Chains A and B, each alone.
Chain A
Amino acid sequence: MAVPTPRPARAMEPLAASRRPGFDLRAVLQTSQTARALAALVVLLVYNVLFTTNFVSLGTFNANLTQVATIVIVAVGMTFVIATGGVDLSVGSLMAVSGVLAPLFLVSGGQFGAPWVGLVLAFTVPVAVTALFGLFNGTLVTKVGLQPIIATLVLFLAGRGIAQVIVNGELREFRNLGSPLVPGFEFIGLGGIAGVRFQILIMAVVVAVAAWALRATVFGRYVLATGGNEAASRLAGVPIQKVKLTVYTISGLLAGIAGLIVVAINRSSDPHRVGELMELDAIAAVAVGGTPLSGGRATILGTLLGALIIQLLRFTLISHNISDGVARIVIAAVIVVAVLLQRQRTS
């Protein structure tokens, strides 16, 4: 206990830390899991380049990324939710809601005065509705205090029901090609810029914005702090409830966008099929990408990698004549292994 009375000197250690301005690959790969995911993706790519015929082509590129785009968009929202320690099971059903809403404005576009009004409404209303549903999920989690699994199970169930009720359970087909000057609704699913499908661009923008937001904005830091230590974050002035409401709203909004893309690709909206099993694909992408399901840490890039791995795995299996059924089993096993690896790392 005998400590000298003189005030301790404040001569400080020289700062060992190096500043790292701008983009930093090491920070991106800070979780070994993300590095592992990247390695897995590279292995899959190399394997396919070597052993899959016609793998290196714009067609294959577009086909795979088209498949993966909606999953990635939804999985980005899921990453935010999981980062706060929650989960959103309702995303697939919300995709169906947005998917069946959009054509309603296209089919009866005339009644909105000008076709472009219908087009604008077809983009905005469904997404606004699913965002509101997301807010509803968030309210159940924060104000009512339900577990996230249960809270989002309600809309998982009712959401698809609402989609089915809206269109009476019928598949609706539509055509909205637009004009050479003003692209139609289908552009977001079938259009392209410089040979790259439009939804791939949407995906890229969503990933870029989300990755930036998670790293650089106050909101992003609050998300991770909330999932990392809720009690401590509250004492540091983090508005926990607002943060949670926001992540569920974002998840709903992104599910809405994904729903629009799916119906645009199909030129039809099927309330039973749109977004089916999407919650699983999205959670799988998040888990395989290295974001722990317990919250507090998250990597958007990892989620992108996770979705790509699963998609490429599926593509590899199928292009080597392995049946869809076996492919599903393999992917399920990959998900479990990813979660097992995570558990070992955190414990």
Chain B
Amino acid sequence: MTHLDADPPLLEMDGVVKTFPGVLALDEASLRVGRGEVHAVVGQNGAGKSTLMKILNGAYRRDGGSVTFDGRPVDFGSTQEAQLAGVSTIFQEINLVPYRSVAENVFMGREPRRFGLINWSRMNREAWEILSRMGVSVDPRRPLGELNIALQQMVAIARAVSFDTKLVIMDEPTSSLDDREVETLFGVIRELKGRGVSVVFITHRLDELYAVCDRVTIMRDGKTVAAREMGEVGKLELVALMLGKEVGEVRRSGATGFGRRTAQADGLPVVELHDAALAPRLHDADLAVRPGEIVGLAGLLGSGRSEVARIVFGADAPEGGEMEVNGKPAKLRSPRDAIREGFGFLAEDRKADGIVPYMSVRENLTLAALPTLAKNGVVDRKRQDEIVDRFISRLGIKTAGPEQTIRELSGGNQQKVLLARWLCLNPKLLLLDEPTRGIDVGAKAEIQGLIDELADAGLGVLMISSEIEEITEGSDRVVVLRDGKTVAEFGRDEISQDAVMTAMAHGEGERVGIAAHAGGGPIADPATVTAEGR
């Protein structure tokens, strides 16, 4: 942190606290960004990055701590206020108006006028100037929607710059860009840096940090755990810091509710995926799940983990690759098809893709099972009640009763209801996307124990998780995705936090052949798992 001492930093956030009902989202978090510095903020989901950024850009008010920007203490009440003070945000989802022209989007709300009427020629000219200074050549009169996503992002940045911005927050700006487009974005970031504009850059792709960032702040559980010069921190160390693990430390027990698994999984895979692709994130995913085994699917956010689950479940149609169910080629066109094959899917976003908020626990629990519970289209209420009662007590769902609306339940209990939604169908394969996210510790261990038990009973489980212990302790096999490709696979005896983290960070490790390694370079020697950053 030495170089900051000479010059007071542009931004200093200290001891920032933010609570939401029942949750401490930020626990004395801090962030320092120098002038003309490209600063990365990294952390897992729920680490508090977004909350910290929202406090910085005025979307949230902080509950404690101090923020100094450009030498003055600030407390922005709205995004507009922050923008006028020199803090602009480029959102992940581009928040511009696609039908309107590039120039209009740049100047929306501040259109230059002459005699009270809009001065189009000046607006177009100035928009063009701002963009060309960034090295972007685009006709300012074209509707924004005609441009590709990368160019739209450039327009969003141009809008930010036009406010005489001192700091630009970019929240996962590369998540929907291809490699070429990412390069263009980096060019613009370097250009901004050259003009003394600071950039706070949030991404889950580690390579990008090294390509463009000067410094990095690592967050975990609402706290700032480290701030380093980019050149002084290795990838593996970065991942370890994000996950809260020591490099080289391997803890094999005590962290999760998973027991030590011994059962041997054999037989035909319930599902097998070859070279699955789904733009823009997934290119080349391979995996197989056999009855009675838990396959952990690891990878950083944006590596294509959820896409794999959605493809297997028929929720998204893959753009390439093959799928086999019980050894036979299969094409699942909808979740309905997948459910008929005996699949169940616990989606990552419980609120958006899981619960039907105003329905009762009973209704939510049996939603997928309704066809099996009906006689001539009429729900057999007795059987429904039996099942609901059984699973409420079996999974220990804490509820005032089956008629309570599900939105009143805690996250953990909602998750149990959703798990029961599939379990009551006696599934053959469960796809679990972050099954324990946002759940209190007790419920978490219970769910983990349950997953174990289900696999012992012969169920195939594909488990996606950002938590390294959950993956390493819970899985019989671990498949690692990196940038949309299966890059490594570990059998039970090879699973270790180090190995998995290395593969997540570098894309190296052992890859047991499910299919021939498509394209790409030689597979790294499984024995040489390096622990150093590049």
Interface set of A (CB-CB < 8 Å, partner B): 1-5, 7-8, 10-13, 15-20, 27, 216-219, 221-222, 224-225, 228-229, 231-239, 296-297
Measured CA separation A11–B396 after assembly (Å):
7
- Asked, given contacts A13-B396, A19-B385, A219-B377, whether A3 binds B356 with beta carbons under 8 Å apart, the answer is no
B454 to chain A, nearest CB (A): 13
Measured CA separation A8–B398 after assembly (Å):
15
B19 to chain A, nearest CB (A): 21
Q: By the criterion CB–CB under 8 Å, are B401 and A216 in contact?
A: no
Question: Chain B 372-411, CB within 8 Å of chain A: the 1/0 string?
Answer: 0110011101000100010011101011111110000000
Q: Is B494 an interface residue (CB 8 A)?
A: no
Chain A residues near B354: list those with CB within 8 A.
Answer: 232, 235
Chain A residue at minimal CB-CB distance from B400: A16
Chain A residues near B358: list those with CB within 8 A.
Answer: 224, 228, 296-297
Measured CA separation A189–B335 after assembly (Å):
47
Q: Is B446 an interface residue (CB 8 A)?
A: yes
Chain A residues near B313: list those with CB within 8 A.
Answer: 235
Closest 10 CB pairs of A and B: A17-B401, A228-B356, A12-B393, A237-B339, A236-B368, A236-B367, A229-B356, A8-B446, A218-B370, A7-B449
Q: By the criterion CB–CB under 8 Å, are B363 and A234 in contact?
A: no
Q: By the criterion CB–CB under 8 Å, are B389 and A235 in contact?
A: no
B453 to chain A, nearest CB (A): 8
Q: By the criterion CB–CB under 8 Å, are B401 and A16 in contact?
A: yes
Chain A residues near B253: list those with CB within 8 A.
Answer: 5
Chain A residues near B403: list those with CB within 8 A.
Answer: 17, 20, 27
Measured CA separation A62–B135 after assembly (Å):
78
Question: Chain B 183-216, CB within 8 Å of chain A: the 1/0 string?
Answer: 0000000000000000000000000000000000
Q: By the criterion CB–CB under 8 Å, are A225 and B446 in contact?
A: no
Measured CA separation A27–B362 after assembly (Å):
14
Most buried by B among A1, A13, A296: A1
B456 to chain A, nearest CB (A): 11
Q: By the criterion CB–CB under 8 Å, are B441 and A3 in contact?
A: yes
Measured CA separation A1–B441 after assembly (Å):
7
Q: Is B353 an interface residue (CB 8 A)?
A: yes
Chain B residues near A15: list those with CB within 8 A.
Answer: 389, 392-393, 401
Measured CA separation A4–B441 after assembly (Å):
11
Measured CA separation A10–B450 after assembly (Å):
10
Q: Is B477 an interface residue (CB 8 A)?
A: no
Q: By the criterion CB–CB under 8 Å, are A231 and B353 in contact?
A: yes
If A3-B257, A17-B404, A219-B377 are given as contacts, then 10 extra A-B residue pairs at C-beta distance below 8 Å, sorted by A number, are A3-B256, A8-B445, A13-B393, A17-B400, A18-B401, A27-B403, A218-B378, A218-B379, A224-B358, A224-B359
Measured CA separation A42–B401 after assembly (Å):
32
Q: Is B315 an interface residue (CB 8 A)?
A: yes
B281 to chain A, nearest CB (A): 19
Set B347, B377, B381, B399: member contacting A235, Cβ < 8 A: B347
Measured CA separation A141–B255 after assembly (Å):
50
